[in-house]
C-alpha cells in the first residue's frame, strides 16, 4: 500500500490545498473515496488515516484533504539549521498584536539558539483584523464575533511540518509574545496533546477566548511564563475591568492554576545576578514534583512589555532550556497521555458506535483526541 502525504494542489483564488492519498499500486483503475473533514477540523485529526489504510487495502483510492482555514491564505516562515537530523524538535514562535512572523524572528533570537542546539523553528503569521492589524484570535473584546480558527491553523501547520521535514511529533513546542503568548495559553487549554510544552512571554488568559470559558486539559501541561513586573500593557496582576482588551487574569492566578493542574508540590525561588547593575532583577520561580516531568516556571523581570532581555537573562536560551528539560521520548509520551485519558466511545470503520467484539477493526476514541486501533482475535 502506498501513502503520499501533504501533496499541494492550487485551489481557487491561489489558495493551496493539502491532500493525502492512500492506494495499492496495482496499476488497475480503482473506485475513489474523498473524505471531507468537519467544521473546524482538519485531515490529520482523529483516526481517519487508519480508516484510509483499511479502504486502500480493500482496493479503493482514498483521498483526504484540508479545507482552507476560513478561506484565508495562511503563511509562515520556516527555519532549520544545516544537517538537521530526523526527528529533531520543532519550536513555534508567535508574534504579538500588530506584529509579524518576520518581526518576531528578527527580535527573539531563536534561530541562533536553534543553530546551537539542533531544532527547527516555525514563525506562523496571524491574520489581519478589520482595523488592519495582524492578530491571533484569542478572545479580545474588540474581536468579538471574529471566526478565524487560529487553533486549527496551528495544529494543521504542526502536522504538515512534522511530516514534510521529518520532525518530532512528540517534542514540538510553542512560545510567543503578548498576543502570541495568549495563543500559547489557548493552545495549552484546547490542544495540549499537539505540543509538549508552552512558553508564553508577556501573555495572559482571556476567558472569552476559551471554548465555553473552560480550560480543562486531561493531562499535565508544562508551562513557562516570562513577565515584566512593570508591564503596562498586560498587567502582571491582571485586570478584571479592562475596557479595551477585555477582562484578563493575573499571572499569579494563571500560574497557580497550572501548578494545581500538574499536581506540583515543590518550589525553588532564585534571583539572577544583576550583571549590568541596572537594578532590573530577574526572579525565577520553578515548580516541580518528584514523580513528574511536567514543571511550571515563572520568570519575572523589572522591565515592561517586552521579551525580557535585561542583559542578565537571555530569554530564548531559558525557553529552550525549559523545552529541552520537558522533552520526552515516544514511549513516555504515549504512557503519559493514555494513562490520563478517558475512553469516550468505540466505533467501527464506518464511524458507527460499537461494542467490543472479536475479529473486527474498532477505533477507541479518548477525550484528549487520541485514538487507538484494535483488532481482537479469537
Secondary structure (DSSP) of 66-134 = PPPBTTB---EEEE--TTPPTTEEEEEEE--TT--HHHHHHHH-HHHHHHHHT-EEEEE--EE-TTS-E
Rounded Cα gap, residues 161 and 123, in angstroms: 12
Tell whether 16 and 43 lie within a shared domain. yes
pLDDT tens for 204-214 read 998 877 766 78
Regarding whether 159 and 114 lie in a shared domain, the answer is yes
Angle at 152 between CA 240 and CA 203, to 5 degrees: 30
Average pLDDT, the chain: 86
CA distance 377 to 357: 9
Helix (H, G, I), strand (E, B) or coil at 228: strand
**Distance of alpha carbon 277 from alpha carbon 254, whole angstroms:** 31
User: CA–CA separation, 43 vs 41, rounded Å?
Assistant: 7
Stretch (H or E) spanning 16: strand 16-23
pLDDT tens string 328-361: 875 554 455 545 566 667 777 666 777 766 667 7
Supply the CATH number for residue 109's domain.
Answer: 3.40.50.1820
- The C-alpha cell at 308 is 525580557
How much is the CA Rg of the chain, to the nearest whole Å?
Answer: 22
pLDDT above 80 (res 173):
yes
- pLDDT given at position 30: 92
On whether both 130 and 245 belong to a single domain, the answer is: yes
338 in any annotated domain = no
Q: Which of 29, 52, 68 is the last residue of a domain?
A: 68
**End residue of a domain, out of 51, 68, 85:** 68
**Residue 8: its pLDDT value, please?**
73
Domain residue limits at 355: 343-378
* Beta strand extents in 133-185 (DSSP E only): 134-135, 167-177
In this structure, the answer to whether residues 357 and 252 fall within a common structural domain is: no
Phi, psi for residue 292 in degrees, rounded to 5: -150, 155
pLDDT band at 370 (very low <50, low <70, confident <90, very high): low
What is the spatial distance between Cα 22 and Cα 114, in angstroms, rounded to a whole number? 35
In this structure, the answer to whether residues 91 and 12 fall within a common structural domain is no
Query: With 70 as the cut, is the pLDDT of residue 276 above it?
Result: no
Q: How far is CA 171 from the centre of its chain?
A: 11
* 173, 249: one domain: yes
Indicate the number of domains in the chain. 3
Query: Do 322 and 364 belong together in one domain?
Result: no
Shared domain for 54 and 105, answered yes or no, is: no
Residue 39: is its pLDDT beyond 60?
no
Same domain, 185 and 278: yes
Q: Do 170 and 104 sit in the same domain of this protein?
A: yes
80 and 64 fall within a common domain: no
- Which residues are paired to 91 by β-bridges? 121, 173
Whether 255 is covered by a domain: the verdict is yes
Q: Could you tell me if 62 and 80 lie in one domain?
A: no
Amino acid at each position: 500500500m502506498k501513502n503520499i502525504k501533504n501533496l499541494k494542489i492550487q485551489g481557487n483564488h491561489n489558495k493551496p490545498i493539502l491532500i493525502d492519498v492512500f492506494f495499492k499500486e496495482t496499476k488497475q483503475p480503482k473506485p475513489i473515496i474523498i473524505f471531507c473533514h468537519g467544521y473546524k477540523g482538519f485531515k490529520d485529526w482523529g483516526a481517519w488515516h487508519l480508516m484510509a489504510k483499511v479502504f486502500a487495502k480493500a482496493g479503493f483510492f482514498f483521498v483526504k484533504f484540508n479545507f482552507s482555514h476560513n478561506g484565508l491564505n495562511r503563511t509562515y516562515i520556516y527555519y532549520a539549521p544545516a544537517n538537521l537530523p530526523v526527528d529533531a524538535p520543532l519550536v513555534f514562535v508567535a508574534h504579538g498584536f500588530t506584529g509579524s512572523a518576520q518581526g518576531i524572528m528578527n527580535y527573539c533570537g531563536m534561530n541562533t539558539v536553534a543553530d546551537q542546539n539542533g531544532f527547527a523553528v516555525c514563525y506562523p503569521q496571524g491574520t489581519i483584523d478589520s482595523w488592519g492589524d495582524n492578530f491571533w484570535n484569542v478572545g479580545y473584546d474588540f474581536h468579538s464575533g471574529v471566526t478565524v480558527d487560529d487553533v486549527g491553523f496551528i495544529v494543521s501547520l504542526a502536522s504538515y511540518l512534522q511530516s514534510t521535514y521529518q520532525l518530532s511529533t512528540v517534542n514540538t513546542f510553542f512560545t510567543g509574545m503578548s498576543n502570541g503568548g495568549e495563543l500559547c495559553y489557548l493552545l495549552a487549554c484546547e490542544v495540549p496533546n499537539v505540543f509538549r510544552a508552552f512558553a508564553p512571554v508577556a501573555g495572559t488568559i482571556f476567558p472569552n477566548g476559551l471554548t465555553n470559558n473552560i480550560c480543562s486539559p486531561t493531562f499535565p501541561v508544562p508551562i513557562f511564563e516570562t513577565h515584566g513586573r512593570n508591564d503596562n500593557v498586560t498587567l502582571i496582576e491582571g485586570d478584571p475591568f479592562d475596557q479595551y482588551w477585555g477582562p484578563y487574569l493575573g499571572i499569579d492566578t494563571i500560574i497557580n492554576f497550572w501548578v494545581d493542574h500538574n499536581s506540583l508540590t515543590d518550589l525553588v525561588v532564585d534571583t539572577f545576578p544583576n550583571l549590568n547593575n541596572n537594578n532590573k532583577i530577574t526572579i525565577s520561580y520553578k515548580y516541580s514534583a518528584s514523580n513528574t516531568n511536567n514543571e511550571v516556571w515563572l520568570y519575572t523581570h523589572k522591565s515592561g512589555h517586552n521579551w525580557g532581555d535585561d542583559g542578565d537573562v537571555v530569554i530564548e536560551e531559558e525557553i529552550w532550556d525549559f523545552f529541552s528539560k520537558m522533552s520526552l521520548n515516544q514511549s513516555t509520551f504515549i504512557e503519559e497521555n493514555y494513562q490520563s485519558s478517558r475512553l469516550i466511545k468505540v466505533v467501527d470503520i464506518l464511524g458507527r458506535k460499537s461494542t467490543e467484539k472479536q475479529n473486527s477493526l474498532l477505533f477507541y476514541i479518548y477525550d484528549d483526541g487520541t485514538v487507538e486501533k484494535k483488532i481482537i482475535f479469537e
